[in-house]
Structure 1
Amino acid sequence: MAGTISTYVTFNGYTAEVLKHWQEVFGGELNLLTYADTKMEGMPFEPPADALAHGVLTLPGGLISGGDSMDGEYPIRDTAYSMLYNAESVEDARERIATMVAAGGEETMKFETAPWGGSYGQVFDKYGVMWSFSAM
């Protein structure tokens, strides 16, 4: 069996909120597990009971997993990385972009025809994560 690559994100105490927002945008099944839900003992730190130990958003095309950070805030808004959504159609991409923008995101690169064919654009969601949208 070949390995797979998926995304893992961490935020300082609000990862569950982020995953719920992305579920609103992309659909899928979301499973969340707080530290109170686990029976983990002997951990090298004392997590808050309501902190997210592990969450998984299962989408038709992949997984986005995450958990709350225990050691402070990480820089989020940057262009060194992005989440790439390969849309089924131009209309699909436009709808998801509109949903992100309506929820407080910012379209920083207009979704339009790309030099390599198809369409491409970028949005920073309300949490500062850059999403690239592509449709052929």
Structure 2
Amino acid sequence: MKVMVMVKASKGSEAGELPSQELLTAMGAFNERLVEAGIMQEGEGLKPSNEGCRVHFRGSEREVSRGPFVETNELVAGYWIWQVDSLQEAIEWVKKCPNPMDEDSDIEIRPLYEMEDFDEIDSDGKVREQEEALRQNMAMQQAQANCYLYFSGDCDAALAYYQQHLGARLGMLLRFNESPDPVPEGMLPEGFDEKVMHCEFTIGNMTIFASDGCADDGPFAGFSLTLTIDSEDELRRVFAALADGGSVGMALDKTFWSPLYGQVTDKFGVIWSLMLPEQTNPA
């Protein structure tokens, strides 16, 4: 079940008082525990209500009122979205939370509605279909796409050239002989051990992935597109859609660089690499 865990506002938070360094450090450590446990999906702090507003609905009329709002006990200063097995589990985690204020404070836990709660109303399933389409759309809007270049043994030379002439900025670089997982025997031609297995560089505001590939068959072998998707369910859906009529080069699986990674060539001949970011916990 999903729950929203709300940190209620206090006089201090409404006055715009920022937390102490000690409290920030303690809350950061608590959030790390939540992420490591696979519970935390989202979390943010909110500015005081004097920087916000409310919209009151009365029939077709809309009335906007500006903060601050006086009902401090009804205001929220921050929130998390957690995926837990039960309300009791959420309660136990909240008990472990540092006091989020430098004064007495309250944290409220509220379960989120799931589509199953509306089965009786949504008898034909149309609302569920609409919600699923919206969920997929939102997940893909947040996906990150990168071009992946394969230089067939000339990656180092290409990087040096782009750094000299295009102001390329090199990020991480991993060679085959530095791989945490051993490279399968016979995968690489002789002398390829020190070639680039994977690297990332930036030109302007574009981040590009690159590799020497696994063979020396010319100055430039081609490219693929990499999609980084935060949702495992959405990643699996997209991978299956691209594989329909295409071919799977590497089935989705855990790797040392991603909790879930795979390669697929779609029916139009475009090669795709799909991956979950490292901080994502597969279901």
Bigger fraction of residues in strand: 1
Which of the pair has the greater relative contact order for Cα pairs under 8 Å at 6+ separation? 1
TM-score (norm 1): 0.46
